[in-house]
């Protein structure tokens, strides 16, 4: 378990993006993620396939969730991150995932925008 708590709030749109998930179809995607039906967020390291993070989204009202019960892989053979850097490192990883999902939805890929792309969305959070 990581020390402290995550300070990010998740709205309904972001929750749906996480539920849709981010796969590892490309080397540019370093952190595949998926929010399951029990509101448990799973995040893997793409090139090893090891799950590094797990957290629970807990509803705090209409359209708002907080992140609790953050667990971080501590086996040095699977992840060499520092537990002392958590939950800030988790928040940075999650922000990268959400921003990638938002960019994809707007029609922007790591290789550039599609011809029908919308403007890039503002950075989350």
The residue ranges of every structural domain in the chain are 9-113
Q: Give me the pLDDT at residue 84, please.
A: 85
Whether residue 102 is predicted with pLDDT greater than 80 in this model: the reply is yes
Q: Percentage of the chain surpassing pLDDT 90?
A: 74
Whether residue 8 is predicted with pLDDT greater than 70 in this model: the reply is yes
Digit-coded pLDDT (tens) for 15-30: 999 999 999 777 789 9
Q: How far apart are CA 121 and CA 21, in angstroms?
A: 18
Q: What H or E segment, with its residue span, contains residue 95? A: helix 88-105
Whether residue 124 is predicted with pLDDT greater than 90 in this model: the reply is yes
Q: Reduced to 3 DSSP states, what percent helix, strand and coil does the chain have, rounded to the nearest 5? A: 25, 30, 45
Whether residue 3 is predicted with pLDDT greater than 80 in this model: the reply is no
Whether residue 51 is predicted with pLDDT greater than 80 in this model: the reply is yes
List 109's β-bridge partners, or say none. 112
**Dihedral class, residue 7 (left if φ above 0, else alpha if ψ from -120 to 50, else beta):** alpha
Whether residue 122 is predicted with pLDDT greater than 90 in this model: the reply is yes
């Amino acid at each position: 378990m990581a020390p402290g708590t995550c300070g990010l709030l998740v709205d309904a749109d972001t929750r749906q993006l996480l539920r849709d998930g981010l796969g590892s179809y490309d080397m540019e995607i370093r952190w595949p993620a998926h929010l399951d039906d029990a509101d448990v967020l799973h995040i893997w390291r793409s090139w090893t396939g090891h799950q590094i993070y797990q957290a629970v989204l807990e509803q705090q009202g209409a359209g708002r969730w907080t992140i609790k019960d953050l667990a971080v892989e501590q086996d040095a053979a699977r992840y060499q991150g520092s537990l002392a850097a958590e939950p800030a490192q988790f928040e940075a990883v999650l922000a990268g995932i959400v921003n990638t999902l938002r960019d994809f939805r707007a029609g922007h890929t790591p290789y550039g925008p599609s011809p029908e792309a919308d403007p890039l969305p503002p950075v989350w959070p």
